[in-house]
Amino acid sequence: MHDQVNPQKLESQITTGDAPQQPDNDPVEVMRRRVGRLDPIQVKIWRQMTSAQRLDIAFQAYQFALDIVRITERQKHPQLSPEELAWRVTRRIQGNPKLGKTNHESSKRS
């Protein structure tokens, strides 16, 4: 049987970050520490949005991140071909420097 959720307690945990302690490797706990405390006004605004509106904001944020990474990689490496630039952006966004590289390519480039 599931425990009853106390809405006031849950609200407090969301806005203050006082959630029950989870293991250090728990992905939700890792994200909670990175994000920090949530603004109760922002939480209220998000709750008033439709799922489509929240998803649109997430897509916009992701596109913005892609644009910033693309610009910085182009500034650092103006000689890259469009394909090489796309792979560098993908690697940075995914956090995997080896993504899309063969063993031969790994030894040639950084």
Residues 21-65: tens digit of each pLDDT: 666 678 888 888 888 888 999 999 999 999 999 999 999 999 999
As for how many domains the chain has, the answer is 2
pTM: 0.59
109 and 79 part of one domain:
yes
* 30 and 59 within one domain: no
Mean pLDDT (the chain, rounded): 82
Q: Give pLDDT, residue 32.
A: 80
User: What are the Cα distances from residue 41, in Å, to 22, 29, 37, 45, 48?
Assistant: 26, 22, 12, 6, 11
Domain membership of residue 3 as a residue range:
1-48
Do 110 and 72 lie in one domain? The reply is: yes
Q: Is the domain of 75 the same as that of 86? A: yes
